[in-house]
Chains A and B, each alone.
Chain A
Amino acid sequence: NAGVMQNPRHLVRRRGQEARLRCSPMKGHSHVYWYRQLPEEGLKFMVYLQKENIIDESGMPKERFSAEFPKEGPSILRIQQVVRGDSAAYFCASSLPGLAKGNEQFFGPGTRLTVL
């Protein structure tokens, strides 16, 4: 059973370009979470999605950032018109459906975005 997959692992963009980060959850997982880790900091929650639904986007910046998790295919985190401050590691996690307390989130290896 493959773990959470993210691609690309490394992404370089120039200021003003778009960045698209992909996350394929573990098999059987229908909950996806995106976290951002700025240099020298811990992870910060960005958004929580279920298939075709955004459940909580309280950690998403108000502009330029969007996320989706379509019925088919991976979850996408999209950053438009990137700026240097967007440089960070972006981690995706997935978990089982259902309301089990303590359901573990399994993390992917992350995408390291560098904005030149």
Chain B
Amino acid sequence: AQSVTQLDSHVSVSEGTPVLLRCNYSSSYSPSLFWYVQHPNKGLQLLLKYTSAATLVKGINGFEAEFKKSETSFHLTKPSAHMSDAAEYFCVVSVGYGGATNKLIFGTGTLLAVQP
């Protein structure tokens, strides 16, 4: 069965310092992995996705993630945090139907705080 584990429920960084949000996945076959961001009282926005192409995936707003099969990890990083990055971040794996991406399994989320 597919699942994701977000290792930190809260992360706090100072503005201008690097961001690292950790995610480990479990999947019985080559997974599709995503990072979504949710700002307070808003819907979810896709940051980036991995679908077995390049292992280093670049997303919006300067975020990127690296798929490491040997470590079953898909950590999200950003070189320099901005105040507007404060939000909740979800690591997500898909459960496919015949190879398609359909049902999404969400991690429990990491709340990122950015201090001035």
Task: List residues of chain A with CB under 8 Å of any chain B CB.
Answer: 4, 31, 33, 35, 41-45, 48, 55-56, 91, 93, 95, 98-110, 112
Contact = CB atoms under 8 A, between A and B. Distances in A.
Contacts of A33: 102-104
B43 A109 contact: yes
Interface in B102-116: 102-109
Interface residues of B, number: 27
Interface string B39-72: 0011111100101100000000000000000000
7 contacts: A31-B102, A35-B106, A43-B44, A43-B106, A98-B100, A101-B101, A112-B41
Nearest to A97: B100
> Which label, helix, strand, loop or mixed, suits the secondary structure of the B interface?
strand
Contact of B99 (A91, A99, A107): A99
A101 B32 contact: yes
Given A43-B106, A103-B101, 8 more contacts: A4-B43, A45-B105, A55-B102, A56-B97, A101-B101, A108-B43, A110-B43, A112-B41
